[in-house]
Amino acid sequence: MTGLARFERRARELLDPVHYDFFAGGAGDEVALADNEEAFGRLALLPRILRDTTGGSTAVTLLGDACEMPIFVSPTAFHRLAHPGGERATARATAAAGTVLVTGTAATTPVADVVAEAREIREDATVWFQLYLQPDPEVTAALVRRAERAGCTALVVTADSPVFGRRGRDDRNGFHDLPPGLYAENMRDLPGGADRVRPIEMSGAFTWEHLDRLRARTDLPIVVKGVLHPEDARLALRHGVDAVLVSNHGGRQLDVAPATVDALPAVAEAVRGRIPVLLDGGIRSGADAVMALALGATAVGVGRPVLWGLAAGGEKGVGEVLELLRDELVHTMALCGAASPGDLTGDLVTRRGAPR
């Protein structure tokens, strides 16, 4: 078994099946979940030859943060369900890989501890904070303050969850709560709640105005996560957003959403290079990353592969997953005649089986 698949297999062997299903599963019939990966299989790379690729680099700058490769760790909930090391282990491995970790509202480790752990490995480690806007603005403000004080350098606002996706596996397994002792730690001791750990609330009431308010409240760059429609990318630009993240939440929200790599070109076209376009969903190899970069992404995120690495081997497992992706990325870039991510252009991507 090659590539990342062995990490998933090991994770499946080790995890409680109910927790494996929570991580692996998607919404509804899991159409979007499957399509995210299958869409990459419908594409091929058309390599260029006789281009000097020696002395190349995979480095990119993301919202002012130096990043050794254009592959970052997307926010996923509840890392301590995958491994006792949880987000701390993920933070250490991601920092060692020199890339961005997006921790978030549903982390089972407080954001301050995640950043401290990453910075123990590397003092300039980059951690961004994924924010679920909360109906109580004081709670949202407190989460933002927590992220700022911890040293996060960007906010990633998840906008694809006005309601929680219907996850059939979790319904069948009766999995709707964390086991005793695990909490969404960033929701602890927030204003206005009698409970020490408030539940994360989804709300359909949010609009672009809420982003404007957030913009006014923080100096941190804001990434909007869950952009699929090009008109929303244009709105994001108009509302002063610093980057968009093309995402369908790993197929966990709208089950009939398009695969992210299929939605990417129209979003990139709408943005026309004015802000970075990020993408996640279905990236399972360095070649997938190369395709998305060529189609207009500045960087790509991985969700489940990191969870499989974490479950399989804690910090070491996450490190192995990120190094494997980096190695495949470098190799594929070289075979395509690309010395740096900037050399990856749309003409390198074709439909499998399509005549040129």
Ligand X SMILES: Cc1cc2nc3c(=O)[nH]c(=O)nc-3n(C[C@H](O)[C@H](O)[C@H](O)COP(=O)(O)O)c2cc1C
Q: Is 51 in the site for ligand LXCWX6NK (CB under 6 A)?
A: no
Rounded Cα gap, residues 328 and 330, in angstroms: 6
For residue 186, the number of C-alpha atoms closer than 13 Å in the C-beta half-sphere is 32
Is 234 annotated among the ligand-binding residues? no
Considering only residues 287 to 316 of the shown chain, the ones binding ligand X according to CB under 6 A are 302-304
- Which residue in 19, 79, 83, 249 is the catalytic one? 249
Which residues lie across from 44 on neighbouring strands?
Answer: 350
Nearer CB in complex with ligand LXCWX6NK: 178/335: 178
Q: Is 225 in the site for ligand LXCWX6NK (CB under 6 A)?
A: no
Q: Nearest distance from residue 208's CB to ligand X, in Å? A: 18
Least distance from C-beta 230 to ligand LXCWX6NK, angstroms? 24
Is there binding between residue 282 and ligand X (CB under 6 A)?
yes
C-beta neighbour count of 258 within 10 angstroms = 19
Q: How many CA atoms lie within 13 A of 320 on its CB side?
A: 17
Q: Is the backbone of residue 277 left (phi > 0), alpha (psi -120 to 50) or beta? A: beta
Is 200 a residue that touches ligand LXCWX6NK (CB under 6 A)? yes
Q: Report what 200 binds from ligand LXCWX6NK, ligand X, none; CB cut-off 5-8 Å by kind.
A: ligand LXCWX6NK
Phi and psi at residue 179, in whole multiples of 5°? -65, 160
Rounded to whole angstroms, the Cα distance separating 305 from 7 reads: 8
Point out which residues pair with 299 in neighbouring strands.
278
**DSSP letter for each residue of 168-232:** HHHHHHT--SPPTT---GGGBT-TT-SSSBPPP---TT--HHHHHHHHHH--S-EEEEEE-SHHH
What residues numbered 238-277 form the site for ligand LXCWX6NK, per CB under 6 A? 249, 252
Which does residue 319 touch among ligand X, ligand LXCWX6NK, none (CB within 5 to 8 A, set by kind)? none
**What does the DSSP 8-state code read for residue 185?**
G
Give the Cα separation of 145 and 163 in Å (integer).
25
316: nearest Cα among 1, 94, 2, 23 = 94
324 lies in the site for ligand LXCWX6NK, by CB under 6 A: no
Handedness of CA 56, 48, 328, 38 (dihedral sign): positive
The alpha carbon of 40 is separated from its chain's Cα centroid by a whole number of angstroms, namely 17
Query: With CB cut-offs between 5 and 8 Å by kind, which of ligand LXCWX6NK, ligand X, none does residue 74 bind?
Result: ligand X
| Residues 61-80 within binding reach of ligand X (CB under 6 A) | 74-77
Q: How far is the CB of 300 from ligand X (least distance, A)?
A: 9
* 283 belongs to the binding site for ligand X (CB under 6 A): yes
228-267: contacts with ligand X (CB under 6 A): 247, 249-250, 252
User: Quick one: what does residue 23 bind among ligand LXCWX6NK, ligand X, none, with the CB cut-off 5 to 8 Å set by partner type?
Assistant: ligand X
φ/ψ (deg, to 5) at 102: -100, 105
Measured CA angle at 171 (ends 168, 174), to 5 deg: 150
- Is 249 assigned a catalytic role? yes
Tell whether residue 35 is a contact of ligand X (CB under 6 A): no
Residues making up the binding site for FMN: 75-77, 130, 158, 225, 247, 280-284, 303-304
* Catalytic residue set: 249
Residues making up the binding site for glyoxylate: 132, 167, 249, 252
Which residue ranges make up the site for ligand X (CB under 6 A)?
23, 36, 74-77, 104, 106, 130, 158, 225, 247, 249-250, 252, 280-283, 302-304
